[in-house]
Amino acid sequence: MKRLALILTCAVAAAAPADEEAPTAAAEVWNLGVDSYRAGDTTNALAILRPLMLSRTHGARAAEVVAKIEYDAAREPGSAEALKHLEEAAAAAQIALRATPDDPRANANFTRATDGLKSLRETKRVNDILAAAKGKSPESILQSGMREARKVLAETAAAGENETVDAAELVRKHDNLSSRVAKLADSWLPVKEAIAAAVTNQTEAAEISARVDAVRQKTADAAVKLEDMDDSARYGLAEAEQEFTDFFKMVAMPPTSIREDLLTQSNAWQDVAIECERPWQNEALDYTRAFRAKFPMWAREYEQQAAADTNKPPFTAEAQAEISDLSTRLEKLQIECVAEALPPKQEEAVEIIRRIIELMPDEKSGGQGGQNQQQNQQDKQDKQEKNDSDKDDSQNQDGQNDEQQQQQEEEKPDDGKEAGEEPQPDEKSQDEKEIEALLRKAQERNDEHEEDKKARARKARLPPNSRDW
């Protein structure tokens, strides 16, 4: 009881003006804390001395002891809270230094406590990033990074060209873009760890690690330049987008490669503007080649998994053989389209890719073949509806009529005719709508994902006020 009374007395004295401090009570608390420290009872010593750190008469000395205890705790082997202890040591050493700024020992203690903080903070940050990415495949991380890099590049260009935005809004936009690019740089950390673990050749693993480190640094530099509103940031962003794309092609498995192939081949057919100075047709050819290179081994592994897991849909030898033939034909067709972009051949390439996707085992629906076709037909109807809805925004009243016609079409059998409407002139116009709807739906999903991230960011707790060290 006497000890508690002394601690409370000292706490009140420390909070009171200097001329009202009780020197005798502070001295007694100081002695009590030192005794606990010398006896090896650091827990009790901290409890006693912490309230004393703001005391005018004993605060500096109490802060020195607290800093020493926390610093020693941070250096203990295997300390799970080393960063927390070092933060506390630095805070206490700072109090002691402010009380005696000319004391060499106080300066040395503060320097020693803060020297390791940067490294520990970075280690904790990296560990937090890796923990958050746990369970995510490099394929999904790279695909998200590739698309985010492209969006940021487009928004950066738009921000630089818009001369009507006021200065405050322009700064806000660049700060937001800088934050997004910094997250892109961090996303390379789990990718590097996963790829390095998968590569058995140490030389190759070292080369990949060095390449990832280089692009991660360029991406981080681009984030800093964006914050400074430096136009040269786009060069680092462009390199980051290229690396995200190249690594994604490297690690993407056949189901993902072929779906990305459909998107890029559709863009080539529809003559969508090239992405980052790379024609869509060349990109589509890359995805086809990546698919062909990995498909045989992936198919064998899938068969083994399906044999062990009866819930997985089967993947017949006939389907695999047809996919192999189709992919060979697809690659030859795309090579011709790279040499000369011919819409009919590009349309044919799109249809081949669709057929390959239909033949691939559909684990989501639990079936193959007819079930895939039925699901794809439903997807086409959904995409058609979305396409007509989007046209409404740009075609006003004509678009509204299109939407009504589309709703009527969905309620009737798909016989190519509607009451009071001419038949479709050819299959190409219908396919064009389906491809455009596919692209719009993909963009819509990306936008929804971004809105979800922004919503979570708005709900996140703000960081505490940083100290001056």
Residues 259 and 348 in one domain: yes
| DSSP character at residue 20 | G
Residues 270 and 191 in one domain: no
Residues 52 and 114 in one domain: yes
Residue 236, domain member (yes or no): yes
Residue 408, domain member (yes or no): no
Task: Please identify which residue in the block is written with the tokens 């360029």.
Answer: 218
> Among 209, 234, 251, which residue terminates a domain?
251
Residues 274 and 241 in one domain: no
Residue 374, domain member (yes or no): yes
Task: Please identify which residue in the block is written with the tokens 């993909």.
Answer: 442
Residues 279 and 306 in one domain: yes
Residue 407, domain member (yes or no): no
In this model, does residue 293 exceed pLDDT 90? yes
CA separation (Å) from 259 to 131, 137, 264? 29, 17, 9
Which range marks the domain in which residue 310 is found? 253-392+427-454
Query: Does residue 280 contact residue 264 with C-beta atoms inside 8 Å?
Result: yes
Residue 302, domain member (yes or no): yes
Average pLDDT, the chain: 78
> Among 125, 146, 176, which residue terminates a domain?
125
Residues 112 and 143 in one domain: no
Q: Is this prediction's pTM over 0.85?
A: no
Residue 433, domain member (yes or no): yes
Of the CA atoms within 13 Å of residue 60, those in its CB half-sphere come to 14
Residues 445 and 297 in one domain: yes
> What does the DSSP assignment read for 109-147?
HHHHHHHTHHHHHHHHHHHHHHHHTTT--HHHHHHHHHH
> Among 222, 251, 280, which residue terminates a domain?
251
Would you state the pLDDT for residue 66? 94
What CATH code is carried by the domain that includes residue 229?
1.20.120
Please give the Cα distance from 272 to 346 (Å, whole number): 13
pLDDT in tens, 300-323: 999 999 888 888 888 999 999 999
Give the residue, 7 or 156, on which the prediction is more confident: 156
Residue 346, domain member (yes or no): yes
Would you state the pLDDT for residue 432? 61
Q: What is the mean pLDDT of residues 335-344?
A: 91
Residues 46 and 26 in one domain: yes
Crossing angle of helices 167-186 and 188-198, in 10° steps, is 20
Would you state the pLDDT for residue 226? 92
Residue 462, domain member (yes or no): no
Please give the Cα distance from 374 to 251 (Å, whole number): 30
What CATH code is carried by the domain that includes residue 6?
1.25.40
pLDDT in tens, 394-443: 444 444 444 445 444 444 444 444 433 444 444 455 656 666 666 666 66
CA separation (Å) from 201 to 198, 206, 210? 9, 9, 14
Query: Does residue 28 contact residue 6 with C-beta atoms inside 8 Å?
Result: yes
pLDDT in tens, 98-157: 988 988 999 999 999 898 888 888 888 888 999 998 888 889 999 999 999 999 998 888
Task: Please state the domain count of the chain.
Answer: 3
Range list of β-strands (E), 220-295: none
Residues 289 and 240 in one domain: no
Query: Does residue 140 contact residue 147 with C-beta atoms inside 8 Å?
Result: no
